[in-house]
Structure 1
Amino acid sequence: MIARARLLAVVAIVLTGALGVISSTQTWLTVVLDDGTGHELFVPGAAAVPVLAPLSLAVLALGAALSIVGRVVRWIFGALTVLIAVALGIVTGQVAVALPVTAVSSTVTTATGITGIDSVAALVRTISPSPWPFVTLALWVLLLAAGLFTLATAHRWRGSGRRYRTDGEGADASAPASRPRDAIDSWDDLSRGTDPTDEPR
């Protein structure tokens, strides 16, 4: 399990980030206006939760970078993942359960030109959620689990740069590699200016 910990964490974080971006484009709420015609407005996730798209993109970036960073940065990224998951979970849960007028105000204002929370609230007859807020809330639970998993296991991940260390941390820098080289090792060599295709003489 530990040998695959990095892969599991990276896949889970990248997946939730990607699905969060997709969710931001989907209809979260349907608003019926009390304007005499019962006009319906459809509120996408990005309008209901303005931070949804940018934070989902941040999660994507964290997940991608997590595959190549060292131990200390893994912990930092794991902590950031947990914080983002908690923040998004709170705001998503509020929209899904409380159905606040603030979540639809920008859409109503764009459609009607009416501004101000009180004025918008007076114009809104009903607000009903689609499945997307609840699906997205489940995503943030998965993201929280992935962040906590990262914090718990990051120190045992196979570090691509561990054999280069000379400060006594991790494996002995002079010890030969005890595992096959992978793409991350080649990336590590390139970042140090070494051509991984060169055969030792």
Structure 2
Amino acid sequence: MIARARLIGVVAFLLSGATGLISSTQTWLLVLLSDGAAEPLAVPGASAVVLLAPLSLTALALGAAVSIVGRVLRPVFGVLGAALGVVLMILTAPVVFGPPLSAVATEVSAVTGIRGQNAIDELVEGISTTAWPALTLVAAVILAAGGLWVVMTAHRWPEGGRRYRAGRGDRARHGEPLDAIDSWDDLSRGEDPTT
């Protein structure tokens, strides 16, 4: 299980970040206006939750980073991932459980030219949601859980390969056997591995 712990944490971060990023471009809300428009106004996720795309990109970056960082930074990145998940839950939950007028106000203003909370409130007859906000909320929960998973298990993850550690050229001097990677690394540094 511990051998897969890193994979589980990284996949949780990457899956959640990718879902949020894709979701930010999809229609979250359909707004029925009283101006006689034949079709409802489609509001994308990036307009409903302005921070969705940047936070999702951050989750993707954390997923990539947590796969290669050392033992000290893993729990820090886990806490950041959990915090990102909680923030995304806080921002997404209101849209899922009862879309506020503020989630559609920017799009309504852009399309109609009408500004002001009261004027927009009178113009909007109804707001319905698609499946994307709920899917994003689930992804945020997975991100928070993945962050906690990283915090709880990171200290038991195996270290990265030898090739990522400094000082591996000293192996021969300490009597440890050399392998092909060590020899290539010696050549890269301009040293003769046969001496």
TM-score category, normalised to shorter length: 0.7 to 0.9
SS at match of 2:115: coil
Give the superposition deviation at 1:11: 1.5
TM-score by length of 2: 0.83
Aligned to 2:102: 102
SS at match of 1:158: coil
CA displacement, residues 113-166 of structure 1 (integer Å, 9 cap, x when unaligned): 111222111110000000111111111111111101000000011122789599
> Which AA in structure 1 matches 2:57?
L
Aligned to 1:68: 68
TM-score by length of 1: 0.81
Aligned to 2:26: 26
Aligned to 1:117: 117
Write out the 4+ residue segments of structure 1 that deviate beyond 2 Å after TM superposition.
Answer: 36-39, 161-166, 174-177, 193-196, 198-201
User: Which aligned pairs between 1:72-87 and structure 2 lie closer than 5 A?
Assistant: 72-87=72-87
Distance in 1, Cα, partners of 2:157 & 2:11: 15
Is 1:147 the counterpart of 2:116 in the alignment? Answer: no
Q: Relative contact order, CA 8 A, sep 6+: which one is greater? A: 2
Give the superposition deviation at 1:36: 3.5
RMSD across aligned positions (CA): 3.1
Is 1:54 the counterpart of 2:34 in the alignment? Answer: no
- Percent identity for Structure 1 against Structure 2: 48
Structure label with greater radius of gyration: 2
Distance 1:175 1:137, change over 3 A: farther
Q: Which runs of 5+ in 1 are unaligned?
A: 167-173
Q: Is the 8 A contact 2:187 2:193 kept in 1?
A: no
Aligned to 2:171: none
Distance in 2, Cα, partners of 1:124 & 1:137: 25
Distance in 2, Cα, partners of 1:108 & 1:199: 69
> Which AA in structure 1 matches 2:64?
A
Aligned to 1:45: 45
